[in-house]
Chains A and B, each alone.
Chain A
Amino acid sequence: MTTVNYLLKGLTLPDGSASDIEIRSGKISGLGKNLAKSEGATEIDLQGCVVLPGLVDLHTHLREPGREDAETVLSGTMAAAKGGYVAVSAMANTSPVADTAGVVEQVYALGQSAGFADVFPIGAVTEGLKGESLAEIGAMADSRARVRIFSDDGNCVFDPLVMRRALEYVKKFDGVIAQHAQDPRLTIGAQMNEGEISSRLGLKGWPAVAEEAIIARDVLIADHVKSRLHICHLTTSGGVEIIRWAKARGIDVTAEVTPHHLLLTDERALSYDPIFKVNPPLRTQRDVEALREGLADGTIDIVATDHAPHPAEAKECEWQEAAFGMLGLESALAIVNQVMVATGLMTWEAVADRMSYAPSRIGRYQDHGQKIAIGNIANLTVINPTQTLRVDRDLVASRSRNTPFHGMEFQGVVAATIYRGHPTFLNGKLSSLGER
């Protein structure tokens, strides 16, 4: 908790009204137009900016422990702060895998000492991500990391019996299973979306049905055992329809979409540049449009980045040799603004829901997703929606450079990120809250 007080001036709240915000001892202490500056407070002029409840990412790869050459908890949370995030959920596919209390507590502690964002470790569903036997879900839930989201992301929980047991077991801990939907038998050696482009390029296809069939199966299992299910990185129009159907039947399923799947299509693969290689793959324009519609109407509950850093040698090679994954934290909000808000598909209130309230609810993160109101913790994201963000891979805070957006321009620059009352990102500079 910070002891510095701040007065943020000239903001627009998600509902469109103008307001200043006063922050004292890490909490919102004043809200309203033309607030007076109290003694000792630092004034920050944010005229023309929109303020949102602090962004929460439910899908990040921080790579530590094991792949610190690509990213660490420190560099990853710095990238998060630059992107407006105050909380990130760290996926379990590290080395060693986060399938024990020990590893998740380590990651949690690293987040606290870095001081840029809350790091909520995600626990593996199965031991070693092998898909065979359940990991120590209870131990992880009861640990200091208080894990509530469990995922084998990177791998699919393919065996239907294992998935059923996981969905049942996790109910005891108020947990949710987050599925990476990919039938491994239909995607052996797959490189990109299966379709017209892959047929021309001679790259092995990753058919939409391999994702949709697992989603369909899992929503039915979740319904049968009355458990919570979350679908990671939805990418197809068929998937959106299945989720819509499931929700209409009252099934407790939530879904996420990444910024890159809201923007890019498989046509990018024509360059054979593996900067565009990602799992699940970029799909067609029709899918992009269905995802945008689904996010706008709430069928898709949240935006999650699937931030996946990789070192240069993993991308500077032939497509087949390259690793799957793209950076995402630093460009996410700008892309959502450009693609959804500036086009009128969503309001800022809806963005606040998809990027803060809903993710916090799904992850059970009490300190996050709080409305901007007096007395609440000051976790805030401030964006200037009219400034242009020019993505430059050499200027990212992440340790890796694999952003597919290098050279592209987006409307919307994060002006400030306030984490528990402390500006972790302001005027282009990063600053740690210090060890918590």
Chain B
Amino acid sequence: MKHLLSINDLSKVDAISILDTAQELARVSDGPMKKLPTLRGRTIVNLFAEDSTRTRISFEAAAKRLSADVINFSAKGSSISKGESLKDTAQTLQAMGADAVIIRHGASGAAQRLADSQWMSGSVINAGDGTHEHPSQALLDAFTIRKHLSKGASDLAGLRIAIVGDVLHSRVARSNVLLLSKLGAQVVLVAPPTLLPVGIESWPCEISYDLDAVINSVDAIMMLRIQMERMSELFFPNAREYSRYFGLNIDRMKALKPAAIVMHPGPMNRGLEITADAADGARSVIVEQVANGVSIRMAILYLLLAGSQEIGGRYDNS
């Protein structure tokens, strides 16, 4: 596998190998071996045309723990913000000898354009493209869920997971629906009708406009950030009405199953889609999600870059 652009690039077996590899890497790199020589001599470029400190640092930490050289190309002050085209940027990276480019971009499909073009030859890892996908986020979410709820199973069979919020504009939601259902979980999307895309009937999940009807049956609830700009675009009347119907507040926390976990990809609007109690309470795994992100990203870099790039070269379990 040369690129990771979308969850659709992964079979169920591939996805589980990423989770298993991350599990081992977490054990090893948080414990005995802080630094591994595996990607020594490789150059990894963080091409972040959209600001994101959290994801960029996570990928940077992952690359450095594997001894790769990391070069950061971020939005502000870079040639991208001055209007240099994606093509010219890519050709510069090629000239610099980038083995892999981790790209975060405001345009859906930017990662695929980079991968499909002839502009550079390295691996492309999608760190979030517009409103399309964010595969490493979904993988770290699945990893977190598996760790807490799967009771030793390798997949997520039998689990019911709610994703709540602005699904229409969410790349995290798209990747998670694909991945969690691929791993055997039942996914239910909860949102006001204006924030569910036309065509969602074809997605492998349920939909509901009613959070209270759904909340007591789920094993994990993932809250999505709601952007205030959406209000001026007429997606909902105001923040108060949004919170009332779709916010995770203290009453809804009580309705959750005792063992259920609370998740959020960050950054949070405390008080809007999630209250402080929910975010900081005992059932919240939000901070752990961030930590798991590094192990997952190490696993992705390892699986994409450490082995040979032969066509059809699949994960070697021998």
Contact = CB atoms under 8 A, between A and B. Distances in A.
Interface in A94-147: none
Interface residues of A, number: 22
A201 B174 CA distance: 9
B41 interface: no
A202 B133 contact: yes
Interface in B234-250: none
B110 interface: yes
B86 A317 contact: yes
A272 B113 contact: yes
A197 B108 CA distance: 13
A272 B198 contact: no
Given A194-B198, A199-B202, A207-B198, A271 B171 contact: no
Contacts of B171: 202
A319 interface: yes
Nearest to B200: A199
B130 interface: yes
B206 to A, nearest CB: 15
Interface string B116-157: 110000000000011111000000000000000000000000
B58 interface: no
Contacts of B131: 202
Given A196-B199, A199-B199, A318 B132 contact: no
A195 B112 contact: no
Contacts of B198: 194-195, 198-199, 205, 207
B107 A318 contact: yes
A318 B110 CA distance: 5
Contacts, number: 73
A321 interface: yes
B105 interface: yes
Contact of B108 (A203, A273, A316): A203
Interface string A267-283: 00001110000000000
A202 B200 contact: no
Interface string A157-199: 0000000000000000000000000000000000000111111
A200 interface: yes
Interface in A303-341: 313, 316-321
Interface string A203-215: 1010100000000
Contacts of A194: 198-199
B197 A198 contact: yes
A213 to B, nearest CB: 16
5 contacts: A198-B199, A202-B132, A318-B86, A318-B107, A319-B109
Given A196-B202, A202-B171, A203-B109, 11 more contacts: A198-B198, A199-B198, A199-B200, A200-B202, A202-B129, A272-B113, A273-B116, A318-B86, A318-B110, A319-B107, A321-B107
